[in-house]
Chain A
Amino acid sequence: MTYSYYKNMQINNIIFVYQGEVTADLVSSILQMIENKLEGEGEDKKVKKRVFNVMVECLQNVYHHLDALPPTDPTNPVRDKTALLMIGREEKDYFIITGNHVLNDRIPDLKARLDRINRATKEELKQLYQEVLTGGEFTEKGTAGLGMIDIARKSGQKLGYDFHPVNDKYSFFSLEARVSRIPDKG
């Protein structure tokens, strides 16, 4: 069993993957590890900072989202308070993928927002951020709305996403942020 995971992590360039409950302290510990890992890899100072900042945003984003969920419905077969956290390193980029369950009826809205974020230029992203901040077109309770915009801004790259159906109520939403290892990019 271990071998197949080993191989998959190798093929997909995954360094670390966590599944389960996400607490503030856990996020802190993971970030500590990433910080030391970046240090150990001898990455450029700018890159280190950028990667780290995006990681912070991604982890905070999923943490806040999970936190904002209503108490677990006892009939829910899905463990909606748990998440997937994945960090990897390819030749040109670091990537961080977070995954968690979302209600199916949230998907169209999420998708629309993500596509809007991905279509935006740097300037437009900045404006979008202000809009959401002041409760403009994309009114959103809590910090989840700003989170993704922030991730996109800090990473300098488009956000990857995937919605995988689980049952008639829930899907699994994966979000990917990529950060370039090249100092002058992004």
Chain B
Amino acid sequence: MTSSEVELLHSPALQYAYPLYRNMLDNSIVFMYHGPITPDIVVDVLGIVEERLEGSGEHRRVSKKLFNIMVESFSLTDEMSQGDTILMVRQLPYLYSVSIGRRIRTGSVHEVRSYLDAVNVMAPEQVRAEYHRLLNEGMPNMPLTVGGLPAISILDLARKCNGYLHYSFEYLDDEYSFFSLEAKIDKIKKC
């Protein structure tokens, strides 16, 4: 490895560049964003995704789907704790995936896990009905939440990617855990 002699002047990230590249390549990760998610960032990230999809000649149906999922996944981000959200987009031969990762209160993990498990076993009609219920009920700007996450967003994502939401939790400490949700989109439409 040949590196610049002015060691002190580069960031640790420089040494991390190649391993990260390889890692992203091996895991089919197209890009990642870490930071506070604002509507402006949403629009810009969507712009980047759009360009990427344009290049890959992806069928419009898939790119629209991916787009819509991304729009909704942003609703799950951590507004309270600025900067503590990661967004990841992966592109595999047969699917795309959008992942959102953020902290949630360790005390809420059980509630969120139970809710996701319940949604994941619902039939499509049930998901739709539950979505309608949440859409219709309550005040539009005071959403029903599950462990701090808007329930309707979870249902919307489940509906958009035909049922299954992959998730994981990582215990950090008694106060916070890390929560990640992945929504997958098949490139090939199932009949």
Contact = CB atoms under 8 A, between A and B. Distances in A.
Direct contact between the two chains A and B in their complex (CB within 8 A): yes
Interface of A: 1-3, 5-6, 8-21, 23, 25-26, 28-30, 32-33, 36-37, 40, 79, 82, 84, 86, 88, 90, 93, 95, 97, 99, 107, 111, 114-115, 118, 157-165, 172, 174, 176, 178
A163 B1 contact: yes
Given A6-B101, A20-B52, A163 B2 contact: yes
A1 B40 CA distance: 27
B28 to A, nearest CB: 9
Nearest to B91: A20
Contacts, number: 172
A111 B44 CA distance: 35
A159 B88 CA distance: 29
B86 A174 contact: no
B27 A1 contact: yes
Nearest to A89: B35
Contacts of A99: 17-18, 21
A25 to B, nearest CB: 5
Contacts of B21: 19, 84, 99, 172
A15 B50 CA distance: 20
A6 B178 contact: yes
B31 A19 contact: yes
A118 B7 CA distance: 12
Nearest to B88: A2
A86 B17 contact: yes
A88 B13 contact: yes
Contact of A25 (B1, B15, B54): B54
A120 to B, nearest CB: 13
A9 B12 CA distance: 11
Nearest to A97: B17
B27 to A, nearest CB: 7
Nearest to B13: A12
B139 to A, nearest CB: 29
A163 B91 CA distance: 27
Given A3-B170, A6-B86, A16-B33, A33 B48 contact: yes
